[in-house]
Structure 1
Amino acid sequence: MKEMIKKDKEVFNWLVTNYYSRVYKTSLFYLKNRDDALDITQDVFIKAFDKIDFSKTSNSKFPILFIIAKNLSLNRLKSRGYKCEGLVDYDLKSKIKTPEEDYIEFELKKEIQEYLNKLPPKDREILILKHFRDCSYSEISEILGIPIGTVMSRLYSARKKMGEYLKGEYNG
């Protein structure tokens, strides 16, 4: 029994060590509140520990963690009266640079965020997962519950729409 408890503790520590940052950032992305994100991050690992199959060593554990973090975060928002239609706005943070560089980067990120927010939720979500959450095609496939081919076609379509927005040619 002690060996089983020790192994469970080691597995849990491994899970937290390897995925804490990504889970926290996911929760913060939805909640926009550090304290709430910390609470949800803890809840994610507790819930995930029972759901993850650790015998599959080659598969990433992030998709199930992402789904749990997303659902818990959206539930927290809903309990506070927020409507959660699709993906919450993505906040692009800027790094400190010279004032001129910081201003240019801020304006560019603000413009990109405006265009992202104009996209349909499915397009916005898949772009954010790929380009801002660094998820692989297989992770996106697991998170969204769609085949990898669909991931690739949705990404192509979303990128095309984003490009049209940036060029001022998209008619929505």
Structure 2
Amino acid sequence: MVAPDLIKAAQSGDRDALITLLREIENDVYRTAFYILNNEQDALDIAQEALIRIYTKINSYEEKAQFKTWVQRIVTNLCIDKFRKNKPTVSIEQFDMSFTEEKTVEQEVMSAYVAEDIREAIDKLPEHHRSVVVLRYLQDFSYNEIAESLDLPINTVKSYLFRARQQLQTLLQDYKKPSIESTRR
């Protein structure tokens, strides 16, 4: 969480505060771009462009929205612009499938397969569904924060998430646990 005093100092022209602010958010900016674009170079380019935009537009930030929401809106919009220009295939990378307990080699291999299947399933989602999934489940945004970031009504966000979950359930149906009835057969 970025300190409000740091934001105010950056807005008042304190160059050191602005640089500190950009350093605090750069990893989140890159992570969001990478999750959405699934391309390291594109993510680096978008992250750099987003940081420059934040640098030049810091005075346009108003405290009506949370700072992280404002930042994520910039990053997401730049990613959407890139989609519109390039229409690339996108997937989610680097899910952390680790747990606190030690895994066997078989469990590690299985986790890698599951992670890859999840990435491929998310890759198949329409762009607008993919964006809300990334913000909700990978960036842990609330519905309100997603709505602000994507400039959508909250009911649209809920609808997109509902449809995305339905699509993911269908795409990942092989991972459903067997019901009691199916195990009795």
Using the size of structure 2 for normalisation, the TM-score is 0.66
Superposition deviation, residue 91 in structure 1: 1.5
- The answer (yes or no) to whether the contact 2:33–2:79 under 8 Å persists in 1 is yes
1:130 aligned to 2:136?
Answer: yes
User: What's the CA shift string for 1:33-74, capped at 9, x where partnerless?
Assistant: 26x644543442231134344551x73223332343345556
Match of 2:40 among 22, 33, 51: 33
Superposition deviation, residue 109 in structure 1: 1.0
Superposition deviation, residue 26 in structure 1: 2.2
CA spacing shift, 1:22–1:4, aligned 2, 3 Å: closer
Matched ranges for 1:87-126 at <5 A: 88-94=90-96, 98-126=104-132
Superposition deviation, residue 133 in structure 1: 2.1
Structure 2 residue aligned with 1:46: 52
User: What's the CA shift string for 1:117-162, capped at 9, x where partnerless?
Assistant: 2222222222122112222212211222111122112212221222
- The answer (yes or no) to whether the contact 1:94–1:105 under 8 Å persists in 2 is no
Where do 5+ consecutive residues of structure 2 fail to align? 1-8, 175-185
User: What's the CA shift string for 1:72-111, capped at 9, x where partnerless?
Assistant: 5566788xxx8226x7222134567643222111111111
**Residues 24-33 or 107-116, more deviating:** 24-33
Using the size of structure 1 for normalisation, the TM-score is 0.70
Structure 2 residue aligned with 1:142: 148
Give the Cα separation in 1 of the matches to 2:113 and 2:33: 25
Give the Cα separation in 1 of the matches to 2:12 and 2:138: 36
Structure 1 residue aligned with 2:65: 59
**Residues 44-53 or 92-101, more deviating:** 92-101
CA spacing shift, 1:107–1:70, aligned 2, 3 Å: same
Q: Which has the higher contact order (CA 8 A, sep 6+)?
A: 2
Give the Cα separation in 2 of the matches to 1:145 and 1:26: 17
- The answer (yes or no) to whether the contact 1:94–1:102 under 8 Å persists in 2 is no
Structure 1 residue aligned with 2:87: 84
What is the count of residue pairs matched by the alignment?
Answer: 160
Where do 5+ consecutive residues of structure 1 fail to align? none
Give the Cα separation in 1 of the matches to 2:143 and 2:93: 23
- The answer (yes or no) to whether the contact 1:90–1:113 under 8 Å persists in 2 is yes
